[in-house]
Amino acid sequence: MKHALVFGGSGQIGMPLLQRLYHAGWRVSAISRQQRHDRPGLEWLQGDLDAVPALPARVDAIFSCGPLLKFSRWYEQSGIEATRVVAFGSTSAQTKRGSADAEERRNAAELRQGEEVLFAAAAPRSDAATVLRPTLIYGAGRDATLTRIAQLAKRLKYFPLPRGADGLRQPVHVDDLADAAFAALTAPASFGNIYAVPGGETLSYRDMVERTLACLRPPVRLIELPSPLFNLALLAAQAAGRATGLGEAAVRRMRNDMTFDAGPAQRDFGYAPRSFQPSAEMFETPRD
């Protein structure tokens, strides 16, 4: 029986990935900060990348569904034997590289550094590493964009956007990302490569938000405001602690296209993501 080690197993991508490994007959050791109950074929190890628990000396594959740089540094120093490594990064490594926000630039640099460290560590060990870069993630109620928008909209009973928020987006469902990681695992063409894994539909930021608001129960109305008025509303929301993480750079990106080519992932491991058809359940806070 093949054995997989999964970091971030209790996260929004990790949970559906565990299901795929489990149903495919893999033995899985998954790491979580919270104590969880084992079941046949699935062992939970309590810890994280800052406090890694005792691990098996050898596994067939390692998956990382959490912070890439932290994982790569751990992997670089670890003595664990694994011939296959699949790790998630983010398209933010590219889209936030030239951000006006210093923190966003730092995050983008850390993502790229994580990729470099991972591949440099894998080469002398003859491990085959693959990095998957998702676009805007949704589907499990844990993302920091659409779920945050949905929850704020339900409290306000409306949601404001600046006019001209027409930059293109490709939201990607967590189940499609789990499928991508599982498919890349056994695809030799993916060894040593980085892939964008966008969603299966390209739509404007405005349309993405409007479709999200329309699926809520009850639906919430989208209000478009002139930029000066929106900026004032944003300042008020930030002062009230309701728009944390939404800075000037993030608002500017609403007007910028952020699209990626899924062709290489489709060619090399059959990546076939769904179109963006959200439901209210996708934005509800999960119960552990």
pLDDT at 226 over 80: yes
pLDDT at 247 over 80: no
d(CA 79, CA 94) in angstroms, rounded, equals 31
Pick the CATH number of 3-283 from 3.40.50.720, 3.40.50.300, 3.40.190.10, 2.40.260.10: 3.40.50.720
pLDDT at 99 over 90: no
| Token pair 């478009």: residue | 224
d(CA 167, CA 136) in angstroms, rounded, equals 13
Cα separation values, 115 from 68, 70, 216, 286, Å: 7, 11, 37, 30
Q: Where are the beta strands (DSSP E) in the chain?
A: 3-7, 27-32, 42-46, 61-64, 84-88, 128-134, 137-138, 158-162, 168-169, 172-173, 194-197, 203-204, 221-225
pLDDT in tens, 20-37: 999 999 999 999 988 888
Q: What percent of the chain has pLDDT over 70?
A: 95
Indicate the pLDDT class of residue 241, thresholds 50, 70 and 90.
low
Q: At what angle do helices 174-185 and 14-23 cross, to 10 degrees?
A: 50
Tokens of 45: 């190890």
Are the C-beta atoms of 172 and 197 separated by less than 8 Å? yes
pLDDT in tens, 153-194: 999 899 999 999 999 999 999 999 999 999 999 999 999 999
Average pLDDT of the segment spanning 118-147: 97
Stated length of the chain: 288
Full-model pTM: 0.94
Residue 71, classed as helix, strand or coil, is helix
pLDDT in tens, 63-73: 999 999 999 99
d(CA 56, CA 248) in angstroms, rounded, equals 46
Are the C-beta atoms of 133 and 93 separated by less than 8 Å? yes
Question: Residue 55: what pLDDT?
Answer: 94
pLDDT at 4 over 60: yes
Question: Residue 238: what pLDDT?
Answer: 65
| Token pair 């590219």: residue | 94
Sorted by where each begins, the domain ranges of the chain are 3-283
d(CA 108, CA 93) in angstroms, rounded, equals 4
d(CA 1, CA 14) in angstroms, rounded, equals 20
Using left for φ > 0, alpha for ψ between -120 and 50, and beta otherwise, residue 236 falls in: alpha
- Burial per residue of 145-175, b for 16 or more beta-carbon CB atoms within 10 angstroms, e otherwise: bbbbbbbbbbeeeebbbbeebebebbbbbbb
Question: Residue 101: what pLDDT?
Answer: 85
**Burial (0-12, 13-18, 19+ Cβ within 10 Å), 27:** middle
The per-residue pLDDT of the chain, averaged, comes to 93
